[in-house]
Amino acid sequence: MENLIGVDSRVEEVNKLLLGVAVDDVGFIGIWGMGGIGKTTIAKLLFDRISNQFNFSSFVSDVRSNAETSGLVQLQKILISRMKGREIDVCDVVEGATKIMRFVRDKKVLLVLDDVNHSDHLHYLARREDWFGYGSKFIIQLEMLTC
């Protein structure tokens, strides 16, 4: 992803928004727009640039299509397994949400959710800011969010 014209300035704009959130506050940033304009590219470049500043970081790609084909429980399993560094079983979305919250509640986390299009995705993967430790940041790339 080198030599992409105009991308660095966009990445810097999003980074400034993240930096504008107080250091100890949990911050959610949304990158919204029509398909094909570079939202995922911006999110990936920013993730690569700042992920080493966090206790845990994860880029969850293609949330929409993965949720449609495999379900939210599978997405939760993937995220929790990355967090724990080993395979974790999850029975349902409520249990998965609880496991996510327990793991991250006192950690500084960077979480990128790519291609979110439904509020359930956020509800069961990153429900509320009080789930996460101080200084956690979230980048949510979305097109059109439905309830």
Q: Does the residue 2 lie in any domain? A: no
Judged against a pLDDT cut of 80, whether residue 45 lies above it is answered with yes
* Burial per residue of 27-59, b for 16 or more beta-carbon CB atoms within 10 angstroms, e otherwise: bbbbbeeeeeebbbebbbbbbeebeeebebbbb
Alpha helices in 51-118 (DSSP H): 63-70, 72-84, 93-104
The boundaries of the domain holding residue 49 are 7-146
Q: Does the residue 1 lie in any domain? A: no
Q: Does the residue 100 lie in any domain? A: yes
CATH number at residue 92: 3.40.50.300
CA proximity to 140, closest of 131, 65, 125: 125
Q: Does the residue 128 lie in any domain? A: yes
1-27 residue pLDDT tens:
555 666 777 778 877 777 766 667 787
Instruction: State both tokens at 61.
Output: 């790609």
Count of domains observed in the chain: 1
CA proximity to 132, closest of 83, 86, 89: 83
Helix axes of 72-84 and 93-104: crossing angle, nearest 10 degrees: 30
- The residue with tokens 């959130």 is 21
| pLDDT of 88 | 92
Give the global pTM.
0.84
CA proximity to 71, closest of 12, 23, 124: 124
| pLDDT of 14 | 79
79-138 residue pLDDT tens:
999 999 999 999 999 999 999 999 998 899 999 999 998 889 989 998 878 888 888 999
Give Cα 94 distance to the centre of its chain. 18
Helix axes of 7-20 and 39-50: crossing angle, nearest 10 degrees: 60
Judged against a pLDDT cut of 80, whether residue 145 lies above it is answered with no
Question: Looking at per-residue confidence, does 78 or 32 come out higher?
Answer: 78
3-state SS assignment for residue 141: strand
